[in-house]
Chains A and B, each alone.
Chain A
Amino acid sequence: NSFAIVIHGGAGGIKREYFTQEQQDAYAEKLQEALDAGYAILEKGGISLDAVQAAINVMEDSPLFNAGKGAVYNSEGNQEMDAAIMDGKTLNAGAVAGVNHIKNPILAARMVMDSSEHVMLSGKGAEILAKKFGIEMVDSSYFFTEKRLNQLREIQGKEKTPLDHTAYLIKNELIDDHKFG
């Protein structure tokens, strides 16, 4: 009857010296909140799929992380989000790609898994189905964050794509230290 949850909030140029204590505390607090949300479901006997969804929802709703509210901008100044979820018991899986009106893309991924015969839906089709199933839709302006926009402006026009969290760094020179996809 043991249970557990593990989470991540992105990787990249993350060194202690690049973050203020206030920023470190904010990240730690939100990570703990996400863990607690998932753990609470498991503790009550809930299923792992619901726990994963709950933990990710917390991080999607925070501007600190590159998902949902804190999603980064593409080269055209828009956001295009992806999400996936998989059930290890049945090997069922669901995913959405390139969406920008679904408040919590992980919910849409779950909907694709549970309520369609498909594994991955992209763009308009994913959003139409999400809306049909009552998943919360938002105007794309909901995802606006000044820090992410500034992060884009720093490198727009260049062939560079930095990993997560660069927007929150005190210094910007890390951008030049990265390998780029």
Chain B
Amino acid sequence: TVGAVAIDKSGNIAAGTSTGGMTNKKYGRIGDVPIIGAGTYANNLTCGISCTGTGEYFMRTVAAHEVSSLIKYKKLSPKEALHEVLFNQIGPLGGEGGIILLDKNGDIFWDFNSTGMFRGFKKSSGETKVEMFE
């Protein structure tokens, strides 16, 4: 799975995700990626999100929208919201994966409960990073 989230000069956030699914999946199986709110979500009032991992668990927890809602209504920080969904909701069910998040302030967050996630960011401030492992 691959994904991207961006915020432009006007402050508008967009999120996208694309995937082949999971090896050996049953034909006709659809994961979280194309389900808005599960694997992909964007809202200028909170953040943009793209997920990767075992899709069924991201669907059952409506993961991307859940993160956004925890920020919007429970006033969690993006870091806290990601941890809550990945480690307290998806993890206990047996789900594995990661999430990238870009908030309305242009700050970037990521987290994963798998052993790694290919990831990177680039900001107009000049900061940039590419990471793969824990």
Q: Which positions in A face B, CB cutoff 8 Å?
A: 1-16, 19, 24, 27-28, 31-32, 34-36, 38-39, 42-43, 45-49, 51-53, 55-56, 59-60, 65-68, 70-76, 78-89, 91, 93, 95-98, 104-106, 109-110, 119-120, 122, 148, 151-152, 155-156, 158, 160-167, 178-181
Contact = CB atoms under 8 A, between A and B. Distances in A.
Contacts of A1: 9, 124
A60 B20 CA distance: 10
Nearest to A14: B116
Contact of B117 (A14, A46, A155): A14
Q: Which of A48, A83, A93 has the most CB of B within 10 A?
A: A48
Given A56-B4, A87-B12, A35 B120 contact: yes
A146 to B, nearest CB: 14
Contact of B3 (A56, A70, A158): A56
B30 to A, nearest CB: 5
A91 B65 CA distance: 12
Interface of B: 1-10, 12-31, 33-36, 39-44, 47-48, 50, 52-57, 94-98, 100-102, 106, 108, 110, 112, 114-125, 128, 130, 132-134
A56 to B, nearest CB: 5
A32 B67 CA distance: 27
B52 A76 contact: no
Interface of B is mostly: strand
A1 B12 CA distance: 11
A43 B124 CA distance: 8
A87 B8 CA distance: 12
Contacts of B123: 2-4
Contacts of B17: 56, 83-85
Given A8-B119, A39-B122, 5 more contacts: A11-B97, A12-B96, A86-B36, A88-B47, A155-B24
B116 A83 contact: no
Nearest to B104: A88
